[in-house]
Each structure stands twice: as C-alpha cells, then as structure tokens.
Structure 1
Amino acid sequence: MSERDMLLDLAEPLQKLVTEKFRTAYRDKSILFSETTVASLRSQCGAPFQLRYCPALARKPNADGPEKKEPGAPKFDPFADPPEELLVASIPANRTSHNLVLNKFPVIQNHFIIATKANKPQTAILEEDDIRITHACLRAWRNEQHGPTESRLFSFFNSGEHSGASQPHRHLQFLPVEDMSSLAAPGWELLLDRMTVRAHPDVPLFRDPTLPFLHFSTPLEDDLSSTNLYSKYLLLLKSALSAARFPDQPLDQNVEVEKDGQTVLSYNLAMTTERMAICPRSREAVAIPGAGSESSVALNGTILAGTLMVKYEVEWDTLRRNPSLLDGMLASTGFPPASWERSNNGTRS
C-alpha cells in the first residue's frame, strides 16, 4: 500500500463508511434526499449531457441553516462542527486536517464532502493537502472495487462568486459515478473523460473541441508524488487564467492567480484518479430562453461531469424539446474555447 493510500488512516474501507453512513442518515431523516428525473441531451457537436429535474431544489433551505438568524449574527457554517449523524470520519485520524461528511441535501446517493477542519476560505488557492487528500479518497474508492463493475468517484470544487459555490468554508465534493449513471440517460459519460485532444504542443494540456466553453484537463499518472500532483493543479489554474484574461497571447505559466489571499478568477475544478480538469467561469446562472421569467439555472463543478440540474417543469420541458439551447447556455457562463497551435512563437490559433 502506497503512502498516499495510507494517508486517510480510516478504520474501515471508504466505500463501506460512506454507504453505511448514508443509509443510516437516510433512514433516520438526518439527510433530505431528493429524487430526480433524468434525461439525456446532446450538445450541437454531440457531447453527451445528463439533464436532471429536481423540483425539490425550489424548496431547498438556504445556506444560513434551518433557523432564521438575528440580524448581524454570524452565517451558519455546516462544516464548523459537523453533527455526528453526518460525520463519516476525521482524516487523518492522528492529526486531523479535514472532516469527511455527508451532504445534507443530496440529489445523488452517497454524495459526500471533505471540508477543512479549520475554517479556510473557499476562494483561496487550494493547498497541497487539499489536493492530496482528495486524490487519496479517489484512489481509496477505486481500490476497494468488488466484482466486475468499475468503481469510480468524481470530485469537484467550486471557487469564486460565479462558480456555484454555496458555502464559504473550504470543501470539495464527491459523487460516485455509478450513482450518477441512469438507465434513463444512456450514452452519458463523464465529460472530463472526453478531454483528450491536445491543447498545447509542449505542455500537458488537453480539451474536448466539441465543448463551447474554455476548459483544460491534464492526465494524472498513477505514481504521481504529492508535489507533482499539486503542480498539475497549479498548471490548470494558470492556464485557465492565461487563456481567459489574455486572448490570442502565448500561454503565460507565470501569471499571478492570487491577490490578497483570493484567486483572481472564479472556476470549477474536477478530478478523477485519471484526470484533473478546470473551467473558468464568468457567470453562475443563466436563463433558459423560452422557459419563463423565473428561469435561472445555476451551474457548478458537476458541469465537468456533463450534468446539469433544473428545478422547474417548464425548464425541464424546454431543454428536452430544444437541446440545442444547451450550447448557448454553457458558452454564456464561461469563456470562449482556446487552444494553442504548434508554431514558432507558441501563439494560439
């Protein structure tokens, strides 16, 4: 067992801990699980997406907690002292830096979160420990596979005002790919698995040319050290900012991505054991044309999995009738796609 696999120092296998905790929390009504109806969509260029309809989202309690606070009272922090019924584990056990907790309002089974024990900002650059522990969870889930069915986790992180982040306390989220899959949406695959076309001749950056928004991915070799894993994250962050802020310029790997302790762009990050991906964001939500004045679809890191959620029936019906609307929606929440073609000066095509 590698040092990274030992990092979590869990008493039992991660899958067992999460699934049993979820089952108990669901039975005891400690979590509010909302069923979704699923359909498959194809973008104009053929990229597969899941559309999920969840009317319960329109009734979801706000992030300030179940009880209304007095004016001026601190905002409720669900990760400051996680309740026992949601706490899966504290990791590592001997020197806890993160808590592993269930999502209280899941729409997909076994949705869990790692949150920093200390209240660190969601808008700051992730630290090496955040990335290292996230990857350790991904590996642990994969390595505990039983039977012929592949067992994978999808992890995502929302940072910045346009990213879809709902909590300021730093946290990364996990969804089992098997629980995301649905017979009602055949042909769906994780979007970041498709990001395999080279985007730079010399730097390990890749993309999916069918997607209408700026994004990059980079492969994660199985034997990566924690330092090299973290450098992959920084490469994506700098590449996303360089392409978003400086169109038609060479890739600037020295661009400053942080100012006064905050990242200078909103972005979504996603990770599996095989690949890490990023998309910078310019808007959090977008209206669906023809779906009424109340239409507002907020996108977060699950867009890098190829899934989006709507809460009103008119939105659900409109997108299924007109899947071509998807491309414009995706484009309007990000930046124009980019790739650097091979040339003497490295400028972008």
Structure 2
Amino acid sequence: MGDRTRKPWQPHTLWSKLQTQTQHGLATGALRSIDTDYEVVPDSGVAFIVRILTNLNRKAQARKVQRQKKTNPFLPYDQDLYVTDITDTHVCLLNKFNIVDHHFLIVTRGFESQLNWLTLDDFEALHHCLTDVAGLFFYNGGPAAGASQPHKHLQVIPGQSMDLPIETAIQATKFVDEMGQSPYLPYGHKIIRLAPGNNAKQWLKHYRRLLSSLDIDDPTGQWRGPQRCAYNLLGTRNWMMVVPRCQDDYLGISVNSLGFAGSLLVKNKTQMDQLKKIGPMTLLKQVAQAI
C-alpha cells in the first residue's frame, strides 16, 4: 500500500496532481488502462460513442478476486492511485481501470453505502473538484444503475473543452423554472440547469428536486439511509440530469451513467452488431424507467 502520506486540498492544483499521479500510477502498474476501439453510432440526433473493450477480462478478473476475498478497493485505498484529500470526508483517487485519461473518483473516507442518498458532504467534495477541473460528473446509484462497488463514490471524467454526445439533447430541452425533459430522450428523465454561481448547497437542492420530480425522492424528507430505487445522476457545471433505472443491462450490454451521456461500452463485435441493429436509444429505453 505504500506510505499513507496525506495531501491537503489546494485550490487550482487538481489538474496538475491528476497528471502527476497518472504518470506515477502507470509507472508502478497500479493504473491499468483498458484498451478500446470505438465507433460513432448516430441515433435520434445523438452521435453515440460506442467503445469495444479489448481487455475487459483484466477488469472482470480483478472484480472476481475482490468478490472472492470480499475486499474493498477504497478502504484502504491504493496509495499509488491517491491524488489528494478533497475535504475531511472525501478523497480523490484515480480510477484503476480507466478507459479515458485522468478519470477520477470522489470517495468517502469512511465506508458509506452506494445505495444511500447523496449528502451535502458529497456535493461539497464534487463542487470543489468541478470548480478546479471542468468535466462530466456521474453517480451510479446502485447495481441496477451500473454500480460495481458498494462503497460510495462519485466519478469525474475531465474535459476542458468537452463535447459530450448528449449535449445535443440537452440543448433541445425546453426548460420551465430551470427544469425540463429533452424531446430527444425516449425514457424517464429530468434535467435541471445549473447557474455559474451555484454552490454545493444549491447543487444538493437541485439534486433533490430532480428526484422529487421523478417521484423517487425520500417521502420522509429526511434524506437519510438507502434510496428508493436505482438511478443515474450525471452532469457538468451547466446542467444535472437524473435517470431512474429498471435494470442494469439489456441483451447482455450493461449501462451505467456514461451511457446516458452518449458513451456506451460493448464487449465484442457481436454486441456491437446487436447494438447497431436495435439502436443505442432502444438500449437506454430498455434499462431506464418509462416516461
């Protein structure tokens, strides 16, 4: 595990720390990037990026070992993947099996369940990171939403000038009181606009408002303990979206939050051909709750 040296949060340094730790992780072998090829598959006005994983077995084998040993990769975390402390409650780690460079995780320092509601502490840590580094953030709320680890963690894929496939659908959304649904998306979802000056408390309020609008909020109003149903949360500095889920996969193709951003993963050419036949939007419609 190495030295448990702590790195305090310093504003405006996250990007350089991500680059430095990525080089270190690759040099030590702790960071095990997954090789992919990709194709662009247009559907309903969205140009989906569909990646074919060429060494998925490496990730599957690691997860199998974790299940057998019942290990938690975040507690303790691998020091070679540790980027920095974010707050007293959260740390920043590199995603061990990354497909996109500098993909990082926002992980609770102590164990909290991935099935629990997101809290102000979670949004404080997320706000810190996105203030420093623009990108796509996402949260897979439970196994049926693509979560592979039970320890609570948000994820961020940096992109200083990011052009997400889903932005086409976001731009087509008609907002009423800052909230709306995109006519491009044939499944249950809600999108809310974020103002540049929004703080973490406002992000938390928007998150809860999205859940309430989809009737998957906490009926007690306490927002403690486990969520009511699986969902995906994703967004940028400018918008936030929630998609309630009904299942993890369709035709053996698993979908997490990235799928709803327009980025899908298939294991082989057979799955790629299946996906092209039915269309990415049909896949998403099958794993999300109906409108």
Name the TM-score, length of structure 2 as normaliser: 0.88
Instruction: Give the corresponding residue for 2:262.
Output: 306
CA offsets 1:157-194 (integer angstroms, 9 cap, x no match): 00123100011111001112369x7xxxxxx6341563
User: How far has the Cα of 1:197 moved from its partner?
Assistant: 4.8
Task: Give the percent of matched residue pairs that are identical in Structure 1 and Structure 2.
Answer: 25
Aligned counterparts of 1:40 and 1:119: Cα–Cα separation in 2: 38
Question: Which of 138, 148, 155 pairs up with 1:173?
Answer: 155
User: In structure 1, what is the Cα distance between the partners aligned to 2:264 and 2:233?
Assistant: 15
More helix by share: 2
* Count of aligned residue pairs for this structure pair: 283
Amino acid at match of 2:207: Y
Cα distance in 1 between the residues matched to 2:168 and 2:13? 26
Match of 1:164 in 2: 146
Residues 192 and 80 (structure 1 numbering): CA distance in 2 closer, same or farther, change over 3 Å?
Answer: farther
1:276 corresponds to: 240
Equivalent residue for 1:123, pick from 102, 115, 120: 115
Q: Deviations over 1:259-278 (max 9, x none)?
A: 98211110000121111111
Aligned match of 1:236: 210
Q: Which residue in the other structure is 1:46 paired with? A: 45
Contact 1:241 1:257 (8 Å CA) reproduced = no
Question: How far 1:12 moved relative to its partner?
Answer: 6.3
Structure 2 CA distance for partners of 1:257 and 1:313, relative to 1, 3 Å: farther
CA distance in 1, matches of 2:30, 2:268: 26
SS of 2:215's equivalent in the other structure is helix
* CA gap 1:14/1:238 in 2 versus in 1, 3 angstroms: same
Pairing partner for 2:169 from 163, 188, 194: 194
1:10-49 alignment runs, 5 A limit: 10=10, 13-43=13-43, 45-49=44-48
SS at match of 1:172: strand
* Aligned residue in 2 for 1:185: none
| Aligned mates of 1:118, 1:49 — CA distance in 2 | 36
* Structure-1 separation of matches of 2:58 and 2:202: 43
Deviation, structure 1 residue 64: 5.6
Q: Are 2:193 and 1:219 equivalent residues in the alignment?
A: yes
Distance 1:56 1:258, change over 3 A: farther
1:285 is displaced (CA, Å) by 0.6
Say whether 1:135 aligns with 2:108.
Answer: no
**TM-aligned CA distance change 1:258 to 1:308, over 3 Å:** farther
Shift in alpha-carbon separation, 1:214–1:119, aligned structure 2, 3 A: same
CA–CA separation in structure 2 for the residues paired with 1:133 and 1:193 = 28
Q: Describe the SS at the equivalent of 1:263.
A: coil
What CA RMSD, in Å, does the superposition of the two structures yield over aligned residues? 2.6
Shift of 1:209: 0.9
CA distance in 1, matches of 2:224, 2:126: 25
Structure 2 counterpart of 1:36, which letter? Answer: T
1:210 is aligned to 184
Q: The residue matched to 2:144 in structure 1 has which SS?
A: coil
Alignment of 1:107-118 (within 5 A): 107-118=99-110
Q: 1:195 to 1:256 in 2, by over 3 A?
A: farther
Shift in Å at residue 65 of structure 1? 4.3
User: What SS class does the counterpart of residue 63 from structure 1 fall into?
Assistant: helix
> What amino acid maps onto 1:109 in structure 2?
D
Structure index of larger Rg? 1
TM-score scaled by length of structure 1? 0.74
1:280-299 equivalences under 5 Å are 280-287=244-251, 296-299=252-255
Does residue 154 (structure 1) correspond to residue 129 (structure 2)? The answer is: no
Distance 1:304 1:67 in 2: 27
User: Corresponding residue for 2:96?
Assistant: 104
In the TM superposition, residue 109 of structure 1 has moved relative to its aligned partner by 1.0
Q: In structure 1, how many angstroms separate the alpha carbons of the residues matched to 2:242 and 2:102?
A: 24
Distance apart, 1:255 and its partner CA: 4.6
Match of 2:279 in 1: 325
Does structure 1 residue 80 correspond to structure 2 residue 75?
yes
- The question of whether the paired residues in 2 share the 8 Å contact of 1:132 and 1:229 is answered with no
Local SS of the residue matching 1:229: helix
| C-alpha distance after superposition, 1:230-271 (max 9, x if no partner) | 1001011111236xxxxxxxxxx8855889821111000012
SS at match of 1:328: helix
Aligned-pair distance for 1:318? Answer: 3.9
Name the residue aligned to 2:5: none
| 2:54 is aligned with 1:90 | no
Q: Which residue pairs with 2:271 in the alignment?
A: 315
